[in-house]
């Protein structure tokens, strides 16, 4: 099994990393696909999201980080992946993930979507909430690798006060 784990990773959290850790023993290789995703306003640029993901996943021998553009199933095929990995934190994730998995199956029936649940201490962690709390001055160090936490704090320092 070769897994593609697609997402925005804006930024990568300990929740994402928990999922990679669970999946990496089950497969030959995991490719973490960092989406360009033009419809979302990102805090970190694609290059920064790639760099941070690479930096915190460097200890995993069978994990690779690549940029993703276009249809996920097409990218999976081009990368030789047969399985997509997505996370399910709570029931609220289900509807969107169900729709995406069904649509991806319709687009390419040979690619399966696999869902994993993170450790419960990460079940309420999302990149968007982490960004919002950090912007408001809250402590998000429990949810991020120190490299990512430092990058987030540096990023916030560069913002004008009104955007902060
Ligand atoms: P996207 O914009 O594609 O949802 P994300 O980076 O937010 O990108 O999430 C990518 C995948 O990782 C999604 O399946 C999401 O449910 C999962 N995920 C995000 N945060 C966590 C977490 N704390 N625990 C487990 N899975 C997570």
User: Active-site residue 40, yes or no?
Assistant: yes
52-77 pLDDT, tens per residue?
Answer: 999 999 999 999 999 999 999 999 99
52 or 38, greater pLDDT: 52
CB 3 within 8 A of CB 83: yes
pLDDT class of 41 with cuts at 50, 70, 90: confident
| pLDDT score recorded for residue 66 | 98
- Report the C-alpha gap between 83 and 77 in whole angstroms: 10
- Asked whether residue 161 carries a pLDDT value surpassing 80, the answer given is no
Residues near ligand 1 with C-beta < 6 Å? 7-9, 13, 15-16, 19, 86-87, 89, 93, 118, 122, 125-127
> Nearest CA to 103 among 75, 71, 76?
71
- Asked whether residue 162 carries a pLDDT value surpassing 60, the answer given is no
67-106 pLDDT, tens per residue?
Answer: 999 999 999 999 999 999 999 999 889 999 999 999 999 9
| pLDDT score recorded for residue 156 | 94
pTM of this prediction?
0.95
**10, 17, 19: residue to mutate for ligand 1 pocket, most atoms within 8 A of CB:** 19
**15, 20, 33: residue to mutate for ligand 1 pocket, most atoms within 8 A of CB:** 15
| pLDDT score recorded for residue 40 | 74
Q: Count of alpha carbons within 13 Å of 137, Cβ hemisphere only?
A: 1
**pLDDT more than 70, % of the chain:** 97
User: Active-site residue 16, yes or no?
Assistant: yes
136-155 pLDDT, tens per residue?
Answer: 999 999 999 999 999 999 99
């Amino acid at each position: 099994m070769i897994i593609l784990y697609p997402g925005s990773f804006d930024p990568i959290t300990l929740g994402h990393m928990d999922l990679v850790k669970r999946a990496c023993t089950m497969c030959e290789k995991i490719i973490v696909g960092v989406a360009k995703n033009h419809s979302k306003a990102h805090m970190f640029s694609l290059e920064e999201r790639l760099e941070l993901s690479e930096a915190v996943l460097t200890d995993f021998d069978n994990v690779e980080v690549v940029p993703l553009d276009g249809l996920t199933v097409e990218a999976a095929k081009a990368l030789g992946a047969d399985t997509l990995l997505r996370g399910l934190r709570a029931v609220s994730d289900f509807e969107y993930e169900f729709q995406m998995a069904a649509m991806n199956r319709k687009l390419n029936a040979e690619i399966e979507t696999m869902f994993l649940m993170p450790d419960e201490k990460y079940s309420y962690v999302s990149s968007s909430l982490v960004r919002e709390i950090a912007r408001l001055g809250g402590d998000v160090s429990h949810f991020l690798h120190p490299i990512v936490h430092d990058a987030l704090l540096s990023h916030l320092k560069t913002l004008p006060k009104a955007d902060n």
